[in-house]
Structure 1
Amino acid sequence: MSDSEVEIEEDDGVKAFMPSGFGKQDRVANTKAQIEQSRRGAGAESRPADPSGSRLITGSSDCMLNFHDFSSMTPTTVRAFKSFDPTASKTSSNNEVHPIYQVLFNPIAPASVLVVTSLPQAKIVSRDGDITTTFVKGDMYLRDMHNTKGHISELTSGAWHPKNRDLCVTAGTDSTLRIWDVNNPRSQRDVIVHRSKAAGSAGRTRMTAVAWGGSSNTLVGAAFDGSLAMWGGDGPFNRPSGEIRDAHAKDTWTSGLDISSDGRLVISRGGDDTIKLWDTRKFNKPVNTASHPSTSSQFPSSNICFSPNSASVITGSATGHLHILNPATLRPELVTPVTNGSPLITVLWHEKLNQIITGSANAETHVLYNPNTSRGGAKVVMTNAPKRRHIDDNPNLTMDLAHGISGDAISASGQAAATSFAARHPNVGMTNSGKSRDPRRPHIPQITPFGKSQPDRDAVTKHIPLSSMRDEDPREALLKYSEKADKDRMFTNAWAKTQPKTIYAELSDDDEEPDKKKAKR
């Protein structure tokens, strides 16, 4: 070793932090990372699937609806093909926040989707994400709720008619249930006013949940005063056919409500940490009661529902577990973890897919399926081949070249040039005709050669002195035509010889004196 060389000892501690290589070392798709990137920023409040099981919609408290198509998703690409805010009136100035409480496909006409938000107006959206109907808002200054044409305060829940494709019902905090006809959104078809008998309520309370179903066409509603009310689905709605005043504890939010397929049983999940089963034929006391911690105080859309054959009851828990209960005893037959540590808000057992779809507070949507008994849905997604990832598929890694060098200027030899700058930036630059590509910028006509050489009137007035008629002497303007008038008379040519010299009348004394004023009578 020479004197100029210095021996450096290897530091294992520093070497451990140094990367062994750069870039991706293998071609294996990181499915977990892709799912983490596709997480929603707020709890998934609703996640329905259409009756055919081909499309899934997720709505949450971030005011966004996400549309997913099972046939186009793969294990590595679980993104939505469309996302939009159904409550936004102007995209540029939308400062209000309206959480989405419930999204429901029409069981008879899957092309219609009922969207219930915190606004007083429910909306009907197509399965492609287009708003087709917006129900009217009522007059908030009317005291009698029978005279208003719509809800006057926040909505909480909704449901479709089990047999009529044009009818739906919404529940609101104005103590009413309103039945709507989608063909007449300007006024409700029927209004049900729930009169609370709780002390200090002044006859009003908030309706927290509503369910409409069963073979017998039964309508059931839950209120904030702890009561349950039942009506016949075809009316009359003047008074309920059955009512339980103390079904759950007073001033607790009963968020979950469902009716069995035969219409004989009603399951309710209250804010008093209880689950109760009711018989519609003896609607005065619960058949069974079970203790279950409630999450409705934090997540008002926490639900509970029957299985398609009403042989089981499913619901979520605050610990993130899925509970499958026996409706006869309300005891858990199966408890499986879905999102540990994060509450499981909504559950749905799809009839055709035979799969359970869940929504959690950590913005995750899970689809539980059985490879042997399930059909379509998540099973199709897992059987699809993973899509080969490209750097352009991730918008966070792509570079914005609006202020940099154009892609047209860089092209490899023997290869076609990349996409033009105009195609990547349609609102930047000018067209061939001279118009701006930005639709917000007004069009300025091109200046002609005459416009460049001939000054306009304002320029002449400002820069050329005495160019206005106000600066001209009228006496000089008339005298410059006197010589021409003497040589070529147009009207007095007959007197050119007989009276060559013009004779004017002489002034009299009367003409010189001013006019006398008229005497007042």
Structure 2
Amino acid sequence: SQTFPKLLKQRDDTFADEDTAEETEMSKVMGFSKFGRTKSSTKNETKSAQKFDIEKLLSERPNANKWKTFGQSSQESDHNKESEDKEASDEDTSKSDNKSDNKLTENVTNVIATEEESDSDSDLIGPPLPPGFQLDSSEATEERNKSDDESSDGEDDYEEGSGSRYDVMPISHEIELIHGSKSVTALALDPNGSRVVSGGVDYEMKFWDFQGMDSSLQSFRAITPCECHPIKNLEFSANGDVILVISGACIAKIVDRDGFVKGETVKGDQYITDMSHTKGHVAMLNDGGWNPRDKQQFATCSNDGTCRLWDLQNLKTHKAVLKPRSSGGLRAAPNTCRFTRNTELICCGCNDGSVQMWDTRRSYVNTTALVREAHTKGSEITSIQFSYDGNCLLSRGTDDALKLWDMKMLKKPVIEIKELFNRFSMTDCFFSPDDRLIGTGVSCLKGEEFGRLVLYSRDTCELKHEIAVSAGAVIRSSWHPKLNQILCGSSNGVVKVYYDPNRSDRGAKLCV
């Protein structure tokens, strides 16, 4: 029993010696037998750290008393230091505020001086003169006068919104857009003034883009949207996205700015006598126009004796029907239709010479205003336009007359101008953008060489301007307010655009 533990101990010692021998042998083979162990490290293993007596060292120092009271006075010194730092920071803040104020004043002074220098140097063009070189006083005066003259020539003589922009007619320059060889009976310019479309009795509709057109003045697209029917009227929507196409058919079409058909109105049942029960027109269209404030609504009028309102989202049936009547209660065919600029009224000019209006906020059973003999009885009214201020109505008829009406007193025209020959049932009339002039196109009589564009004063009825446009009748005419340019479509297939380089914007100026 006593020898068994001894045997176990001997066995363990033997195994330990064997393990140690194996580890030593492995270390020699692998080459790290002395890894991490040096002579110095072996010596340091037997050494111990030196111990110091802190109190003895402090007592031996010359300032021993100071170190003894260090713990007691540390709090007081910290408090005093905080108060001193606070006072110093307050002084620094006041000094920095004074410095910032002084710096701000200096910056403002420097900015003003810089602006004055830049203003004085703004008239200089090109690199500065070399040092030591100066112009004579006479030469400097001549250079200054020359630059002033050039700047005055290049500047516009009007201010936006002042109305003086339209004091001078923009007719000093012109360009010609060739539609074809036949009459231009439809002409439209989008609200932004970048694209022109024209239509004629040759069934074609052409597109011009001022921004993409070069000096050759060629149209970029020509289509025949209504097959073998002449184009009677074209008009852009309020936002300029789509175009209303009115032709000699009983269907109105909607095309986009690139000429692709987007929709068309439905054709009515021609065997129904009550026109309010048909879904669409049953006879040839005469005119049409968009609602100035609603880009989804437009109106069309036809020889079937109705004026119909349409919604662009639902062209399968009309939205409302207006039925003009003659003095005897019979059907009167509306030849032209137009919304007022505030969209409260819709007006129709009929083939019996009457002007009839309906309130869009009420039912369309009875007219709100009626001028029975606005033009000679039996003559057609070819165009009606409302002034920009909404107070006046301008009408043009085949009785060779141009009449101006006050919307508050429709019994008698304010101005009546006669002997303006009108051969076409689509002849336009228009207001100038500042409402001071009224204009229309005149067809040429036998023996006359040119059709004319005439403009009269709205207040005095005085002839202000007369322009010989082309060898034919002037049918379509308009004055674009944004571009300040005048467009005229003639019976010889030519569209003329008049402009002034100083008072007109973009449009024809971009492609000349």
Structure 1 position 184, deviation (Å): 0.5
User: What is the match of residue 398 of structure 2?
Assistant: 271
Where does 1:232-247 land on structure 2 (aligned, <5 Å)? 232-247=359-374
User: What is the match of residue 84 of structure 1?
Assistant: 223
User: What is the match of residue 265 of structure 2?
Assistant: 135
Computing the radius of gyration from Cα coordinates, the structure with the larger value is: 2
Structure 1 position 67, deviation (Å): 0.7
User: Would you say the 8 A contact 1:259–1:266 is kept in 2?
Assistant: yes
SS in 2 for 1:48: strand
Structure 1 position 233, deviation (Å): 3.2
User: What is the match of residue 329 of structure 1?
Assistant: 460
SS in 2 for 1:379: helix
Structure 1 position 293, deviation (Å): 2.3
Of the candidates 329, 342, 347, which is equivalent to residue 220 of structure 1? 347
C-alpha change, 1:151 and 1:161, in structure 2 (3 Å) is: same
Q: In the aligned structure 1, how far is the partner of 2:287 from the partner of 2:487? A: 19
User: What is the match of residue 332 of structure 2?
Assistant: 205
Structure 1 position 265, deviation (Å): 0.6
Q: State the percentage of identical aligned residues.
A: 32
User: Would you say the 8 A contact 1:216–1:262 is kept in 2?
Assistant: no
Structure 1 position 85, deviation (Å): 0.4
Where does 1:82-481 land on structure 2 (aligned, <5 Å)? 82-88=221-227, 97-107=228-238, 109-198=239-328, 203-215=330-342, 217-295=344-422, 298-319=423-444, 320-339=451-470, 341-382=471-512
Structure 1 position 216, deviation (Å): 5.8
* Partner amino acid, structure 2, of 1:57: V
Q: In the aligned structure 2, how far is the partner of 1:154 from the partner of 1:43? A: 19
User: Would you say the 8 A contact 1:243–1:284 is kept in 2?
Assistant: no
* Partner amino acid, structure 2, of 1:44: V
Of the candidates 184, 188, 197, which is equivalent to residue 48 of structure 1? 188
* Partner amino acid, structure 2, of 1:313: I
Of the candidates 62, 65, 73, which is equivalent to residue 202 of structure 2? 62
C-alpha change, 1:133 and 1:292, in structure 2 (3 Å) is: farther
* Partner amino acid, structure 1, of 2:313: N
SS in 1 for 2:189: coil
User: What is the match of residue 71 of structure 1?
Assistant: 211
SS in 1 for 2:211: helix
User: Would you say the 8 A contact 1:220–1:230 is kept in 2?
Assistant: yes
Structure 1 position 39, deviation (Å): 4.9
Structure 1 position 330, deviation (Å): 3.2
Range 118-127 or range 230-239, more displaced: 230-239
* Partner amino acid, structure 1, of 2:180: R
Structure 1 position 318, deviation (Å): 1.3
User: Would you say the 8 A contact 1:113–1:125 is kept in 2?
Assistant: yes
Q: In the aligned structure 2, how far is the partner of 1:371 from the partner of 1:333? A: 21
Range 352-361 or range 308-317, more displaced: 308-317
C-alpha change, 1:178 and 1:250, in structure 2 (3 Å) is: same
Q: In the aligned structure 2, how far is the partner of 1:190 from the partner of 1:156? A: 18
User: Would you say the 8 A contact 2:199–2:205 is kept in 1?
Assistant: yes
User: Would you say the 8 A contact 2:266–2:315 is kept in 1?
Assistant: yes
SS in 2 for 1:338: strand
Give the TM-score of the pair, scaled to structure 2: 0.63
Cα offsets for 1:246-266 (capped at 9, x unmatched): 111122121021011122111
Q: In the aligned structure 1, how far is the partner of 2:299 from the partner of 2:327? A: 23
> What CA RMSD, in Å, does the superposition of the two structures yield over aligned residues?
1.7
User: Would you say the 8 A contact 1:145–1:176 is kept in 2?
Assistant: yes
Q: Which has the higher helix share?
A: 2
> Structure 1: which 5+ runs fail to align?
1-33, 89-96, 383-521
SS in 2 for 1:231: strand
SS in 2 for 1:255: strand
Structure 1 position 214, deviation (Å): 2.1
Give the TM-score of the pair, scaled to structure 1: 0.62
User: Would you say the 8 A contact 1:216–1:263 is kept in 2?
Assistant: no
Q: In the aligned structure 2, how far is the partner of 1:274 from the partner of 1:35? A: 28
User: Would you say the 8 A contact 1:215–1:261 is kept in 2?
Assistant: no
Cα offsets for 1:223-262 (capped at 9, x unmatched): 1111111122333211111101111112212102101112
Structure 1 position 342, deviation (Å): 1.0
Structure 1 position 312, deviation (Å): 1.5
* Partner amino acid, structure 1, of 2:486: I
* Partner amino acid, structure 1, of 2:182: A
> Structure 2: which 5+ runs fail to align?
1-174, 445-450
Q: In the aligned structure 2, how far is the partner of 1:131 from the partner of 1:196? A: 36
User: What is the match of residue 437 of structure 1?
Assistant: none
Range 141-150 or range 225-234, more displaced: 225-234
